């Protein structure tokens, strides 16, 4: 019973977005990761993180991008792992990576020194500059040893779309034990390959008129076709809080997935609303929380892992 709207998205994906050459290899890697953790009785979450690059020229000098440091995705990955999940981290090349937040605001060279100041044979981390390094490195090494984190990179929108599809298919064997946590900042607009100039657009040609098409709503085939049993969370970022909840509800109505994490650009680090068909949970960091370096992602992940547990029980029952 193929629905025309869905097959048309699938068709568009193949036609208008270049397929990355390594997609099959990555898919097999993700499937093997899913099998390994399913056998160990672990749930698996696919986290998408960072912004997508939308080229304006096929030999790309210019591109459209979406604001995202990747902090939400990277931080959430750590909390999911702490909650017993294995994580596939589908992230924008060079966006923030789990366990590396402390490097974000420093130049690594300023945190290194020669042992004892004089001995130039050994380079050590100055723990006054990076006070948490030992703790974080220990955790990172454990996560690596237990193979709990599989990093996959994308840069362009095309890569993102095809790799997300591959991930959904690779995780389909997990049924309700798979979660999709779609935190990436994905472009709504693109220029089809067929309409893209090959060469750099010349500024001597005068002002730039860009006509961009709408990106197919990938959530639709993801929920209906590719991973119909999975627990799917989308994100909604707005700058205008007045339209936020209505937009989140509309998305749930349209795509019939499990939850939307709704947030406003300016307050996103301290306030989100988790919206489901029947509930609406405001998660807020108090001043006290901020002082204690509590992160909003801890609350989001705690809310969603509980909901996922209930979802799995429901499916089985």
Least gap, CB of 170 to a copy of itself (angstroms): 23
Query: Following CA atoms 12, 230, 184, 53 in sequence, which dihedral angle do they give, to the nearest 10 degrees?
Result: -20
Strand partners, 290: none
Nearest approach in angstroms of CB 44 to a copy of itself is 21
Nearer to a copy of itself, 199 or 291 (CB): 199
Q: Which is nearer to a copy of itself, 21 or 209 (CB)?
A: 209
The span of 40-48, 114-122, 170-178, 285-293 binding a copy of itself (CB under 8 A) equals: 114-122
Whichever of 36 and 63 has its CB closer to a copy of itself, that residue is: 63
- 206 touches a copy of itself (CB under 8 A): yes
Task: Compare residues 99 and 231 and give the one whose CB is closer to a copy of itself.
Answer: 99
Positions 1 through 60 that interact with a copy of itself (CB under 8 A): 53, 56-57, 59-60
State yes or no: residue 310 binds a copy of itself (CB under 8 A).
Answer: no
Q: Which is nearer to a copy of itself, 125 or 312 (CB)?
A: 125
Give the C-alpha separation, 45 to 208, whole Å: 41
Decide: is 252 part of the binding site for a copy of itself (CB under 8 A).
no
Residue 306: name the closest of 179, 150, 168 by CA. 179
Interaction of residue 194 with a copy of itself, rule CB under 8 A: no
Kindly tell me which residue out of 122, 145, 278, 293 binds a copy of itself, with binding defined by CB under 8 A: 122
> DSSP character for 226?
I
Helices 296-316, 71-82: axis angle to 10 degrees equals 60
Whether residue 51 contacts residue 68, with contact meaning beta carbons closer than 8 Å, is answered with yes
How many residues interact with a copy of itself (rule CB under 8 A)? 61
Among 4, 39, 118, 120, binds a copy of itself (CB under 8 A): 120
Q: Tell me if 107 contacts a copy of itself by CB under 8 A.
A: yes
Nearest to 152 by CA among 20, 10, 5: 20
Question: Taking CB under 8 A as the criterion, which residues in 254-273 touch a copy of itself?
Answer: 265-266
CA–CA separation, 136 vs 53, rounded Å?
30
Of the residues 124, 284, 290, 306, which one makes contact with a copy of itself according to CB under 8 A: 124
User: Quick one: which of 14, 32, 40, 137 contacts a copy of itself (CB under 8 A)?
Assistant: 137
Residue 214 binds to a copy of itself (criterion: CB under 8 A): yes
185 exposure class (CB count in 10 Å sphere: 0-12, 13-18, 19+): buried
CB 65 within 8 A of CB 199: no
Rounded to whole angstroms, the Cα distance separating 74 from 2 reads: 36
Dihedral sign computed on CA atoms, order 47, 49, 55, 56: positive
Q: For a copy of itself, which residue of 208, 253, 278, 314 counts as binding (CB under 8 A)? A: 208
Q: What's the closest the beta carbon of residue 5 comes to a copy of itself, in angstroms?
A: 16
Q: Is the CB of residue 102 less than 8 Å from the CB of residue 133?
A: yes
Cβ proximity of 217 and 256 under 8 Å: no
Task: Tell me the Cα Rg of the chain.
Answer: 21
Task: Please say which residue, 36 or 103, places its beta carbon nearer to a copy of itself.
Answer: 103
Torsions phi, psi for 273 (to 5 deg)? -120, 125
Q: Which residues bind a copy of itself (CB under 8 A)?
A: 53, 56-57, 59-67, 97, 99-100, 103, 107-109, 112-115, 120-125, 127, 133-134, 136-138, 140, 185, 187-189, 198-201, 203, 206-215, 237-240, 265-266
């Amino acid at each position: 019973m193929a629905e025309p709207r869905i097959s048309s998205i699938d068709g568009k994906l193949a036609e208008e977005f270049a397929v990355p050459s390594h997609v099959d290899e990555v898919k097999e890697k993700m499937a093997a990761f899913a099998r390994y953790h399913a056998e160990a009785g672990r749930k698996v979450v696919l986290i998408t993180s960072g912004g997508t690059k939308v080229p304006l020229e096929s030999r790309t000098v210019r591109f459209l991008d979406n604001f995202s440091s990747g902090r939400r995705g990277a931080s959430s990955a750590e909390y999911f792992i702490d909650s017993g999940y294995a994580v596939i981290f589908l992230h924008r090349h060079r966006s923030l990576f789990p366990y590396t937040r402390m490097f974000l605001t420093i130049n690594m060279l300023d945190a290194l020194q020669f042992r004892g100041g004089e001995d130039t044979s050994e380079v050590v981390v100055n723990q006054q500059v990076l006070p948490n390094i030992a703790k974080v490195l220990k955790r990172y090494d454990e996560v690596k040893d237990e193979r709990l984190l599989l990093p996959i990179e994308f840069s362009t929108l095309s890569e993102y779309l095809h790799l997300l599809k591959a991930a959904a298919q690779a995780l389909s064997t997990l049924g309700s034990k798979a979660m999709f946590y779609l935190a990436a900042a994905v472009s709504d607009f693109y220029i089809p390959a067929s309409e893209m100039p090959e060469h750099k657009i010349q500024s001597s040609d005068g002002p730039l008129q860009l006509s961009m098409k709408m990106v197919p709503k990938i959530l639709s085939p993801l929920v209906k076709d590719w991973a119909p049993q999975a627990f799917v969370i989308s994100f909604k970022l707005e700058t205008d809080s007045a339209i936020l909840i209505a937009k989140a509800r509309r998305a749930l109505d349209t795509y019939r997935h499990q939850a939307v994490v709704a947030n406003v650009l300016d307050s996103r680090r301290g306030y989100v609303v988790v919206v489901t068909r029947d509930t609406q949970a405001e998660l807020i960091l108090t001043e006290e929380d901020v002082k204690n370096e509590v992160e909003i992602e801890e609350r989001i992940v705690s809310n969603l892992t509980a909901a996922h547990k209930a979802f799995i029980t429901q499916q089985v029952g």
